[in-house]
Amino acid sequence: MDIKREPPKKTKRNVLIAGAVIGAVMVTVALSKLEARPPSVARAEVIIDSVQRGELIRAVRAPGTLVPENIRYVAAVVSGRVEDRPLRPGSMVTRNTVILVLSNPDEQMLLLTAQEALAQAEQNLVTVRASLESNKLAQEANIARLKTQLAQAERNKATFEALDASRKGLASENELRAAREQVVELTTTLGIEERRLKLMETSMAEQIAGAEVTVNSNKAVVQLRRERIAGLNVIAGIDGQLQSMTLELGQWVNSGQELARVAQPGRFKAVLRVPESQAKDVAVGQKVDVDLHPAIVTGRVMRVDPTSQNATVEVEVALEGEMPQGARSDLSVDGTIEIDRIPDCLFVQRPGNSQPDQTVGLFKLEPDGKTAVRTNVKFGKASVNLIEVQAGLQVGDKILISDMGTYDNVNRVRIN
């Protein structure tokens, strides 16, 4: 006979399942709250610097070159072909040293033409002067004859008047009238001829002056042609050192073309190429340290170019210190321009990702020296290697100033 059995109770089984679920949930929550182990960084691979308080010297560093302070560009006075190069760059020259010889046959022809024109103008002056002088002498002779005739007419007039005054009928009325009219006519003619002589003298002076101007103009042209021919022997122009001259024998050069450069040795200036973003703080008179590798020479900013080229601004520096031996044109230099000084401020070596007037997350070393925690730091004004700390750090705090871009997703690192 079959006996009906009661099914087993599930209470104990349910309790075990519920406990297992609750345990799993608790473990999951605990694991989610447990912070992952921070990555480690070798101490030898990072740079650590301490925050300091004191005076911060703001400076701008820029590369540049050494340039002669006084340099003369020698240009061609006249076009010509290079016939001789007696000197090479680096030679010492005086102001009258011939550094290049050119030739141009056309200039010789132009000189001959100018000389012919001058000779013709001088001959014309002689002819004009002789002709005018002859005309003047003829006029003076005519006036002399008129004066003689006038004197004779006056004597005749006086005679007829005397005869008429005696009333003896020795002179007729017509003869007396004719004598008087002749005196008047000769007097008038003499006055006209004398005025003509004065006009002739004035005109003669003007004509001679015009001919002399023509002669002087032709003389100036001849002198100019001679100077242009003399310019075929190119001279240095100043005492100094020949810096450059790249022309070859037989090469044709045009008037005004640069032929060479001559500089006074020992007198240099530095031309620095400052980035646009930093050039706004550079001003005339600021102190500059110029590194000539290895010597360092002090100087002052004497000019800031108002324009920008290739994202840089040229800054000219007048060098005040003694120039070392070996200093030469186009020598590569590095200049550090002192912008200003910030007294009594917090500063630190400039981290790789820092920018002026920005807040940046940096790793600050904890007191145990084994871990570093990300901290927001507000920076102020910056220099070449230093930057002002305005908030987020205190004196003595140590930060990692190396590039930590690979750890941007963590807030803590271990220092081994």
Do 156 and 210 share a structural domain? yes
CA angle 349, 416, 367 (to 5 degrees): 60
Give the per-residue pLDDT at 169: 58
Query: How far apart are alpha carbons 265 and 267 in whole angstroms?
Result: 6
> The CATH number of the domain where 242 resides is what?
2.40.50.100
Is residue 323 domain-shared with residue 249, that is, in the same domain?
no
- pLDDT for 24 equals 59
Predicted confidence (pLDDT) per residue in 153-188, tens digit = 888 888 877 776 655 556 677 877 888 888 999 999
Statement: residue 16 has pLDDT above 60: no
Residues 136 and 183 in one domain: yes
Q: 31: pLDDT confidence band, cut at 50, 70 and 90?
A: very low
CATH number, position 330: 2.40.30.170
The pTM for the full model equals 0.54
Please name the residue ranges forming H helices in 231-359. 276-279
Looking up tokens 């929550």 gives: 29
Could you report the per-residue pLDDT of 51-79, keeping only the tens digit for each?
A: 999 988 888 889 999 888 888 889 999 99
Residue 2 lies in a domain: no
Own/partner long-range contacts of 317-325 (Cβ < 8 Å, ≥24 apart): 317/64, 317/269, 317/270, 317/271, 317/272, 317/288, 317/290, 318/69, 318/269, 319/268, 319/269, 319/270, 319/290, 321/297, 322/297, 323/266, 323/268, 323/297, 324/292, 324/295, 324/297
* Tally of domains in the chain: 4
Q: If you ran DSSP here, which 8-state letter would residue 309 be given? A: B
Band (pLDDT 50/70/90 cuts) for residue 401 is: confident
Residue with tokens 């016939």: 83
- Give the tens place of pLDDT for each residue, 362-392: 888 888 888 889 989 999 888 878 889 989 8
User: pLDDT tens-digit profile of 313-340?
Assistant: 999 999 887 888 777 778 899 999 998 8
Range of the structural domain that residue 306 is part of: 62-68+264-341
